[in-house]
Amino acid sequence: MRIRTRLLILVLSVLVPSFVAAALAVAYVYREGQVSQAESVAEATRAFALLVDNEIQSRAGILHALAGSPSLSRGRLEEFYAHARRMAPTAESTIILVEPGGRQLLNTRAPYGATLPLRRVSNIDELMREQGAERMLVSDLFMAPLGKRHDFTIQVPVRIDGALRYFLVMGVNASALQPLLRRQHFRDDWLATVVDRQGMVLARSRQPEAFVGSPIRTYSRMRLNTASEGVYESRSLDGIRVRAFFSTVPNTGWKVLVSIPVSEIRRVPLQAAAMLGGLMLLLLAAGVLAARRLAAQAIRPIEYLERSAEELGQGKEVRYEAQGLAEIDGVALRMAEASRKILHAQQELEQRVAEAVAATERAQSALLKSQKLEALGRLTGGIAHEFNNLLQTLTTALQLAGMTSTQSRVQGLIQTCQKTVQRATALTGQLGSFGRIQEARLETVDPGRQLRSALQLIRGALRDDISLEVDCGEGLWPVTVEPLQFDLALLNLAINARDAMPRGGALRIAADNHALALPPGPLAPGDYVRVRVQDSGCGMPPEVLARALDPFFTTKAQGQGTGLGLPQAYAFAAQSQGLLLLDSEPGQGTRVDIYLPRASLPVRAAPPPEAALPLPRARGTVLFVEDDPLVREAVLHALEECGFEVLVAHNGEHAVELLDSGILPRIVFSDIVMPGKISGIDLAGIVRQRYPAMPVVLATGYTERQAAIPGVQVLAKPYPIEKLVALLASAR
pLDDT digits (tens, 9 = 90+) for 474-496: 889 999 998 888 888 898 899 98
Integer Cα distance of 98 and 166 in angstroms: 6
Task: Determine the Cα–Cα distance for residues 148 and 214; give it in Å rounded to an integer.
Answer: 16
pLDDT at position 504 is: 92
Count CA within 13 A, CB hemisphere, residue 289: 6
Q: Which of 137, 101, 112, 100 is nearest to 122 (CA)?
A: 137
Cα–Cα–Cα angle for 661, 664, 670, rounded to 5 degrees: 100
For the chain, list residues with pLDDT below 70.
Answer: 1-8, 10-12, 14-15, 18-19, 22-23, 25-26, 29-30, 33, 268-269, 271-273, 287-288, 290-298, 304-305, 325, 343, 346, 356-441, 551, 557-563, 604-616, 701-708, 732
Q: Which long-range contacts (CB under 8 A, 24 or more apart) does 220-224 make?
A: 220/244, 220/257, 224/195, 224/199, 224/255, 224/257
Q: Which residues contact 398 (CB under 8 A, 6 or more apart)?
A: 414, 417, 418, 421
Find out whether the peptide bond into 718 is cis, omega within 30 degrees of 0. Answer: yes
Give the separation between CA 267 and CA 244, rounded to whole angstroms: 16
pLDDT for the residue 12 = 66
CB 581 within 8 A of CB 573: no
pLDDT score at 648: 93
Non-local (6+) Cβ contacts of 255 within 8 A are: 49, 194, 195, 224, 246, 247, 248, 249
- 68-177 and 447-597 in the same fold: no
Closest CA to 170 of 145, 194, 143, 152: 152
| CA distance linking residue 88 with residue 96, whole number of Å | 11
> Furthest-apart CA pair in the chain: how many Å?
129
The Cα 196–Cα 139 span in angstroms is 8
Cβ contact 689:654 at 8 Å: no
Give the C-alpha separation, 647 to 663, whole Å. Answer: 9
What pLDDT score was predicted for residue 32? 76
Dihedral over alpha carbons 574, 578, 584, 589 (to 10 degrees): -110
Closest CA to 717 of 656, 626, 648, 654: 626
In this predicted model, what pLDDT tens digit does every residue of 214-246 receive, in sequence order? 999 999 999 999 999 999 999 988 888 999 999
CATH number of 68-177: 3.30.450.20
Torsion of CA 324, 329, 332, 337, to 10 degrees: 130
Distance, CA of 374 to CA of 434 (rounded, Å):
8
**Domain boundaries along the sequence of the chain:** 68-177, 344-406+611-732, 447-597
Q: Name the burial class of residue 46, with classes exposed (0-12), middle (13-18) and buried (19+) by CB atoms within 10 angstroms of its CB.
A: middle
**Cβ neighbours of residue 309 closer than 8 Å, sequence gap 6 or more:** 335
> What's the CATH number for 344-406+611-732?
3.40.50.2300
* H/E element, 160: strand 150-160
Closest alpha carbon to 300 in 328, 326, 335, 337:
328
- Residue 505, strand partner residues: 466
The whole-angstrom distance between residue 334's C-alpha and the CA centroid of its chain comes to 50
**Whether the predicted model's global pTM rises above the 0.75 cut:** no
Q: Cα separation of 613 and 484, whole Å?
A: 27
What is the sign, positive or negative, of the torsion defined by CA atoms of 432, 435, 440, 444? positive
- CA–CA separation, 199 and 102 (whole Å): 26
Rg (CA), the chain: 48
Q: Where are the beta strands (DSSP E) in 473-588?
A: 479-481, 505-516, 526-535, 579-585
Strands (E), 236-375: 241-248, 255-261
pLDDT at 349: 76
Close Cβ partners of 534 (under 8 Å, ≥ 6 residues apart): 507, 508, 509, 510, 589, 590, 591, 592
Cα distances (angstroms) measured from residue 165 to each of 52, 200, 485: 29, 32, 85
- CATH no., domain 447-597: 3.30.565.10
d(CA 10, CA 729): 91
Number of Cα atoms under 13 Å in the Cβ half of residue 348: 6
Is 255 in a helix, a strand, or coil? Answer: strand
| CB burial string 217-252: b at 16+ within 10 A, e below | eeebbebbeeeeeebbebebbeebebbbbbbbbeeb
For 567-622, what is the HEC assignment?
Answer: HHHHHHHHHCCCEEEEEEECCCEEEEEEEEEECCCCCCCCCCCCCCCCCCCCCCEE
- Measured in degrees and rounded to the nearest 5, phi and psi for residue 548 equal -65, -30
Contact, 703 vs 672, CB < 8 A?
yes
